[in-house]
Amino acid sequence: MKRHPNHRMDLPISIEVYQQLLSAAGETGFQKKFWEIGESAIRDWMVRHHPDSFSAPTAGYQWKHVFLPHGTLLRTVVSGRNHHCVVEDDCIRYKGAEVSPSKFVNAAGGIRRSAWKTLWVLFPDTTTWVSAESLRS
């Protein structure tokens, strides 16, 4: 487990953001400490807004010929309900467990499904979900 770099350091956030974080963490089974989430968000912000101040992350998950960089979100829809997971460092995490794209869509769906056909991808610094199948060619 990664230890907090300085247990006396605080970074206040609004109660609204804190409640949304608790809700999101509860729904997804996210296992990171809040300071780790904050650190990751600050790093992502630095890369986007001042890339020279911080080296861009090189971590990510290699899925066949498609590279999913750290911070990529994955979504699958089952019975009209969205299920999400995230690429963290060099692995994909769903409800706290390390999974492959196939294991994610099958765990969310409860049946055997093709990840290429049922997965949507949101890359860091983008706002448009793309189908995994469109990345395959």
Q: Provide the pLDDT for residue 29.
A: 62
Residue 1 forms part of a structural domain:
no
Domain count for the chain, please give it: 2
Residue 123 phi, psi (nearest 5): -75, 155
Q: For residues 68 and 48, state if they share a domain.
A: no
Same domain? For 16 and 33 the reply is yes
Q: Which are the contacts of 136, defined by CB distance < 8 A and separation ≥ 6?
A: 64, 66, 116
**42 and 62: one domain?**
no
Q: Looking at the structure, do residues 22 and 89 belong to the same domain, yes or no?
A: no
pLDDT tens digit sequence for 98-130: 999 999 999 998 888 899 999 999 998 788 899
Q: Is residue 2 part of a domain?
A: no
User: What is the extent of the structural domain holding 125?
Assistant: 57-137
Do 40 and 83 fall into the same domain?
Answer: no
Half-sphere exposure of 131 toward its Cβ, with a 13 Å CA cutoff?
Answer: 9
Same domain (yes/no): 63, 50: no
pLDDT digits (tens, 9 = 90+) for 32-77: 677 777 777 777 777 667 766 655 557 889 999 898 999 999 999 9
Residue 57 has phi, psi (to 5 degrees) of -65, 140
Residues 114, 72, single domain; the answer is yes
**Top-confidence residue, 56 or 13:** 13
More confident residue, 11 or 84: 84
Note whether 37 and 91 are same-domain residues: no
Q: Are residues 32 and 91 in the same domain?
A: no
Tally of CA atoms within 13 A in the half-sphere of 75 that contains its CB: 13
Residue 97 lies in a domain: yes
pLDDT at 47: 65
Helices (H), the chain: 15-28, 34-49, 101-109, 115-118, 132-136
